[in-house]
Structure 1
Amino acid sequence: MRNFKFNSLSAIIRSKKARRGMTIVICVFASLVLLITTAGAAGTAAKAVNVIMDGIKYPLTKGHPYSENGTTMIPFRMISGKLGTQANWNAANKTLTLQQKENKIVLTVGSSFAKVNGQPVALGAMVVQKDGMTMIPLTVVSDLLSAEVEVDEFSQSVHIHTPGKDLGELDYFGRKIRTTNLPKNYKDYPYILEDIPNEMYEMRHTINYYAGDAKTGAQMFITKVTSEDMAKIIKRMKIGYDLRLNVDYKTIDPASYAKEVFNLENQSVSIRKNEIKEYAEWVKKNKIQIEGAIDPEPSVLYYPGTGDYRIRSKFRFKINNFIEYKDILLDEYFIAHFRRSGELKKGVWYEGYADISVSTNYYNGTPGETKNLDSLSSLFENATLHEMK
């Protein structure tokens, strides 16, 4: 297994040794389906996607990139003022005009065609407005604006790169490292990323200080885990929470839902599968509808000395419907949060950070192959939670 290491941009994009299974893909969107779990038993079609623009990942927040029906959509603001373009928005007719050198590109909300120097060009999906943001198909970036677009199956991310731009030092997952304005506890981590605020780094850890083998993330990357391990663990975490946070009473099938969710958890307690099925049956009875996602950060992990790893994750969810305010989320700490902080509101987006637990029922084995979501992993245990206005 390889230890954690830094790479130059050229190594990340071109070296087969730098990333396994990575291919530069221009407009081959079938591959993007690999980045998203369908979670068919749970319901919703659109799923959050990691998109990294010149080493900066767009945060999991309002207007985040998503995939729907095999097409990745990104917020225009992500590329606004970049790639050598000038933009003009006409609110009256909902058109976005981009000028890049001699090319004039006109995009219209509700249309799946662009006009390039007056000629229609198919985009493969419609330009839409979502959460107050103009969302454009990734084809606009790769086909019309001539950016380098890479689908990285290893880290389950899409990279957009301005041709010829030097990004400086990147981490193994293609993100920019910063060396200034560091968090107070920066020594706890193997590196500090430019696109993560200090707020996330400086949250307290749930460490059992009586456990002599508790370790920081910096220590774990040296002795315990590799980048390949973290990529595999995080992929399973995201799929697991796609299932937990996207439920719809109209489409959920309790038996298949329980099987899918349980397969992505530590399976040391077989009765857990029955508990998940009972929750799914309650979803149908209580007419629960939820949508959301998590974005685990591979470098922000630690070992609390209690057998599991904790991986700090950005999360976002919205409860769209229920009848009775009871057991709305598949989360063991939901009731405790309700008693402590009051009811969560319908139709409101909540965001925050949580230390999500991953564990295993295997005595030996590499973390990347054996660590799964713990059945007690929670968005409400060691977490921050904010109502988004």
Structure 2
Amino acid sequence: MKKWVCASLALMMLFGLMTGISKAAANAPTFVSVVMDGQKIWFPDAQAFVDENNRTLVPVRFVAEKMNAKVGWQSETMTVPIERGDQQIQLTIGENKVIVNGKEAAFDTQAIMSGGRTFVPLRFVSEVLGAEVKWDGSTSTVFISTKEDAEAKYDQWGRLMRTTDLPKNAKDYPYILDDMPNEMYELGYPYSNPERSKVSAVLYETIPEYNKRNVDIWMNRLKDFGALWLNVDYKTIDDNWAQALFATKMQNSNAELKYIQRYVDWVKENKIQIEGYLDPEPSMIFNDGFGADYVRSKFRIKFNSFKESKDLLYDTWFPSDETFDKNEWYEGVADIKMGTNVGGDWGSTLKVAPSASLFYNHLIKKVE
């Protein structure tokens, strides 16, 4: 895998370009995927994000531990000690400097605490931990490279592929990723027309619209949608949020906007607070033969506040017979429906379908 170096200034400019208007209007978080040595880092809770100054911040513990570093915490001084090989690193919350083996290095962004996790600027990863970094604006992904493997094979999104311990239906996919569990591949497909439906291996092989340029557009739209959909706060939600969510969806009229606005009213009345993220997988797309595409996506969600465990999410399939515990993370896999009302060269027009659901065809469990 090639190694990349990306200057901090270029990162700042690219992050500024990728911030969507709809998300800015609704104050939705801008989540960033992180891939290290070909494997996506599945952060258990706190996600990498872009701050108000268009700089990316990553949760230092999970990144550093992936690089075989030991990470501690000293609450009295709000300091994070890190040991990596012969490096002794001391990072302090609220300061834009770090001490490495007794020498001071400065950054233009402070280390911060959010959700009980310490976040550091991406420059910390490259300049202090010694990794090489690349930003891919087309997929909102940070690539961190610490080693090269000349024999390894990667997909067009820089992900490491595997050829052993394959899922039972491996032939349905163009390849199998090293960082994806088999249960994600083996989850059954949504209801479909058996004579016209197509799995992702066929779509990528036979239909020109399924190319990287179009798929990158779709994945970013799903990330934008998830950043709004799964992050709700009754204290701040307003019509800007409703308009922004509506803008991510495929519509023939403004009819759905009224339903979204009713949900906003319910969020306020029921004092709903939700946080989470949606991480779509570009190699897992299924066409149901009825004109819709489903993108298999990993998600995490936590319900922090509500009075009634009812319609907590804007989702027509939200389960009425399932109770979610407050302040507990749930994770799962879901097929998120997308569609278009454009014929011909439709690739750039695919958007989230009005009936998209986290609970229609899914797996979900509480994080232990």
Aligned to 1:252: 237
- What is the rounded CA distance, in whole Å, between the counterparts of 2:151 and 2:221 in structure 1? 29
Aligned to 2:197: 214
Taking a change above 3 Å as real, the CA distance of residues 286 and 131 of structure 1, as seen in their structure-2 partners, is closer
Question: Larger deviation: 292-301 or 158-167?
Answer: 158-167
- 1:358 and 1:377 in contact (8 A); partners too: yes
Amino acid across the alignment from 1:66: F
TM (norm. structure 1) is 0.84
Pairing 1:338–2:323 present: no
- What is the rounded CA distance, in whole Å, between the counterparts of 2:265 and 2:71 in structure 1? 50
CA-to-partner distance for each residue in 1:201-237, whole Å, 9 max, x for gaps? 11111142x4411111100001221121111101011
Aligned to 2:143: 159
Pairing 1:293–2:277 present: yes
- What is the rounded CA distance, in whole Å, between the counterparts of 1:182 and 1:227 in structure 2? 24
Aligned to 1:173: 157
Pairing 1:233–2:218 present: yes
Secondary structure of the corresponding residue to residue 80 of structure 1: helix
- What is the rounded CA distance, in whole Å, between the counterparts of 1:190 and 1:167 in structure 2? 19
Aligned to 1:274: 258
Aligned to 1:67: 50
Unaligned runs of 5+ in 1: 1-8, 14-23
Aligned to 2:7: 26
Aligned to 1:18: none
Taking a change above 3 Å as real, the CA distance of residues 35 and 192 of structure 1, as seen in their structure-2 partners, is farther
Aligned to 2:345: 365
- Structure 1 position 56, deviation (Å): 0.8
CA-to-partner distance for each residue in 1:107-133, whole Å, 9 max, x for gaps? 245543211232322234444566665
Taking a change above 3 Å as real, the CA distance of residues 266 and 304 of structure 1, as seen in their structure-2 partners, is same
Secondary structure of the corresponding residue to residue 39 of structure 1: helix
- What is the rounded CA distance, in whole Å, between the counterparts of 2:133 and 2:96 in structure 1? 20
Amino acid across the alignment from 2:357: S
- 2:32 and 2:48 in contact (8 A); partners too: yes
- 1:42 and 1:251 in contact (8 A); partners too: no
Secondary structure of the corresponding residue to residue 307 of structure 1: coil
- What is the rounded CA distance, in whole Å, between the counterparts of 2:71 and 2:276 in structure 1? 32
- What is the rounded CA distance, in whole Å, between the counterparts of 1:186 and 1:311 in structure 2? 17
Structural mapping, 1:349-360, within 5 Å:
349-360=329-340
- What is the rounded CA distance, in whole Å, between the counterparts of 2:367 and 2:182 in structure 1? 20
Question: Larger deviation: 31-40 or 277-286?
Answer: 31-40
Aligned to 2:367: 388
Aligned to 1:107: 91
- Structure 1 position 381, deviation (Å): 0.6
Secondary structure of the corresponding residue to residue 333 of structure 2: strand
Secondary structure of the corresponding residue to residue 251 of structure 2: coil
Aligned to 2:288: 304
Secondary structure of the corresponding residue to residue 123 of structure 2: helix
TM (norm. structure 2) is 0.88
Amino acid across the alignment from 2:353: D
Secondary structure of the corresponding residue to residue 213 of structure 1: coil
Question: Which of 57, 69, 78 matches 2:63?
Answer: 78
Amino acid across the alignment from 1:313: S
Identity of aligned residues (%): 34
- 1:66 and 1:74 in contact (8 A); partners too: no
Structural RMSD (CA): 2.6
**Number of equivalenced pairs:** 359
- 1:357 and 1:374 in contact (8 A); partners too: yes
- What is the rounded CA distance, in whole Å, between the counterparts of 1:39 and 1:27 in structure 2? 23
- 1:318 and 1:350 in contact (8 A); partners too: yes
- What is the rounded CA distance, in whole Å, between the counterparts of 1:40 and 1:142 in structure 2? 28
- Structure 1 position 311, deviation (Å): 0.6
Pairing 1:326–2:310 present: yes
Taking a change above 3 Å as real, the CA distance of residues 90 and 383 of structure 1, as seen in their structure-2 partners, is closer
- Structure 1 position 63, deviation (Å): 4.2
- What is the rounded CA distance, in whole Å, between the counterparts of 2:304 and 2:69 in structure 1? 38
- 1:238 and 1:296 in contact (8 A); partners too: yes
- What is the rounded CA distance, in whole Å, between the counterparts of 2:276 and 2:66 in structure 1? 29
Aligned to 2:83: 98
Secondary structure of the corresponding residue to residue 221 of structure 1: helix
Aligned to 2:228: 243
Question: Which of 344, 349, 354 matches 1:375?
Answer: 354
CA-to-partner distance for each residue in 1:116-167, whole Å, 9 max, x for gaps? 2323222344445666655433221112233211110122200011265547
Amino acid across the alignment from 2:206: T
- What is the rounded CA distance, in whole Å, between the counterparts of 1:43 and 1:291 in structure 2? 13
Taking a change above 3 Å as real, the CA distance of residues 129 and 223 of structure 1, as seen in their structure-2 partners, is same
- What is the rounded CA distance, in whole Å, between the counterparts of 1:110 and 1:234 in structure 2? 34
- What is the rounded CA distance, in whole Å, between the counterparts of 2:263 and 2:25 in structure 1? 13
Secondary structure of the corresponding residue to residue 48 of structure 1: coil
- 1:54 and 1:160 in contact (8 A); partners too: yes
